[in-house]
Amino acid sequence: MGLRIAEIFGPTIQGEGALIGEPTVFVRAGGCDYRCSWCDSLHAVDSAYRHSWTPMSDDEVWEEVTRLSGGRPITVSLSGGNPAIQDFGPVIEMGRAEGYRFACETQGSVARPWFGQLDTLVLSPKPPSSGESVDWDVFEDCVAAGQGARQVVMKIVIFDRRDYAWAKGAHARHPELPLYLQPGNPEVDPDVPVDPQSLADRLLWLVDMTTGDGWFAPRILPQLHVLLWGNKRGV
């Protein structure tokens, strides 16, 4: 079958998390084992969009990455959907042999041996507002699988006070993981413009919550790509 790919795009910049602002080519996998209520990439998640996903071999994926990057080593981000439900190990091996760096963002619901080949593994467990629940035993398997990576971090999207309290508990489970929090974007329709002031207000609310509580563990970041491009695909 090869890999199911929703889109490959870039170079652009990483819009969130530990690598925010870093020049990146994105490989967005098709398919996911979650259905988050506020998902902003349904085109790569819902099987209703399966007809738009492209079956690609490892070589075809890598040829497209090198074409987009002009053969110049850059960070390649594996996203989705959930890229962990597919085997990206061979693609990572091809890229690392040519000096490329790799990051992967996943909710931590499927552990893969190739996590250890990454430069950055971003584990993004989903809070209560998503409508999903975390299997913490599997999440810990993902942390263990990423031990060979240069860094493993946790990133959580926050929509409300319940999510915020949940994030504190998630951090308490894994205080060894650098923690990044970002306010969620309630408007995910690509045809509806985002309100930058509303996003700024949500960011300020999250800053006030953490500093007011004296909780200094997380780094608070915006979704930079949403501020720049709204919900447009392929950026």
The residue with tokens 């994105």 is: 26
Judge whether 32 is annotated as a binding position. yes
Closest CA to 126 of 207, 40, 57, 193: 40
Separation between Cα atoms, residue 162 and residue 217, nearest integer Å: 18
Judge whether 136 is annotated as a binding position. no
Judge whether 8 is annotated as a binding position. no
Judge whether 39 is annotated as a binding position. yes
Instruction: Give the dihedral of Cα atoms 158, 173, 225, 8; nearest 10 deg.
Output: -130
Judge whether 114 is annotated as a binding position. no
Judge whether 14 is annotated as a binding position. yes
Judge whether 15 is annotated as a binding position. yes
Judge whether 142 is annotated as a binding position. no
Judge whether 213 is annotated as a binding position. no
Judge whether 126 is annotated as a binding position. yes
Judge whether 196 is annotated as a binding position. no
Judge whether 104 is annotated as a binding position. no
Three-state DSSP class for residue 34: coil
User: Quick one: residue 152, left, alpha or beta (phi over 0 = left, psi -120 to 50 = alpha)?
Assistant: beta
Judge whether 79 is annotated as a binding position. yes
Judge whether 125 is annotated as a binding position. yes
DSSP designation for 173: H
Q: How far is CA 220 from CA 50, 55, 124, 155, 183, in A?
A: 35, 37, 14, 10, 8
Binding residues for S-adenosyl-L-methionine: 38-40, 81, 124-126
Binding residues for Mg(2+): 41
Binding residues for [4Fe-4S] cluster: 32, 36, 39
Binding residues for substrate: 13-15, 28, 79
Binding residues: 13-15, 28, 32, 36, 38-41, 79, 81, 124-126
